[in-house]
Amino acid sequence: MSWTIRRATVDDTDAVAQLYDDPSAYAGTLQLPYPLPSTWRERLAQTDNTVHLLACSGDEVIGSAALHPNLRSPRRAHAASLGMAVPAAWQGKGVGTALLAAIVELADNWYGLARLELTVYTDNAAALGLYKKFGFEIEGTLRSYALRAGALVDTFTMARLRERPR
Ligand SMILES: CC(C)(COP(=O)(O)OP(=O)(O)OC[C@H]1O[C@@H](n2cnc3c(N)ncnc32)[C@H](O)[C@@H]1OP(=O)(O)O)[C@@H](O)C(=O)NCCC(=O)NCCS
């Protein structure tokens, strides 16, 4: 299976909104059903603080990952959060691994970040497996953190720490 990783632009608005229209994609994140393209257009237009990457198979967008560095907070400049989703049809094929590898490479070698952080639902086995594979560790549990399909569910906070390059 082959795909490419590239930066998302506003021209990808419809494709990204469609990706997040997948129940398994929005249920695993904090996105809502029936995503509005205008919401995604606004997010994709904000290029100063977020690095939004896409995995593509030909013209098809098959995965999305975003790194959110804290560029405006000197005391949090060593850290960034991230979020990602792969639609059901493409899950389990290595797309998430390729996207996270690209995000981690950027964070480590180009932004020089010491801490990558995220939240993940405690029952999201695929995401937990993926993040642990890249060295993320569970730091704590946030109880009743978010509403998901009618129930308040718990999340883990996870982080991956590394020495900043000298
Ligand atoms: C979590 C998600 C991004 C993983 O992407 P993916 O393309 O399916 O992942 P990959 O195929 O690259 O698999 C990566 C690793 O995840 C783990 N994994 C994948 N599917 C799994 C499953 N069903 N059960 C347990 N572990 C699983 C494995 O450790 C796997 O590594 P391995 O193949 O080397 O063993 C994807 O499933 C997804 O988008 N889910 C819905 C949205 C979501 O949950 N986003 C994350 C929010 S925190």
Give residue-wise pLDDT tens across range 14-48.
999 999 999 999 999 999 999 999 999 999 998 77
Q: Ligand 1 test: best mutation among 86, 131, 154, most atoms within 8 Å of CB?
A: 86
Say if 91 falls within a structural domain.
Answer: yes
**Parts of the chain with a pLDDT under 70:** 165
Q: At what angle do helices 95-109 and 125-133 cross, to 10 degrees?
A: 40
Whole-model pTM over 0.75: yes
Say if 83 falls within a structural domain.
Answer: yes
The kind and range of the H/E element at 143 are strand 137-148
Question: Given this model, what pLDDT does residue 48 score?
Answer: 78
Range of the domain at 31: 4-118
Which numbered atom of ligand 1 lies nearest the CA of 95? 7
Q: Ligand 1 test: best mutation among 91, 119, 134, 142, most atoms within 8 Å of CB?
A: 91
Question: Given this model, what pLDDT does residue 152 score?
Answer: 98
Say if 129 falls within a structural domain.
Answer: no
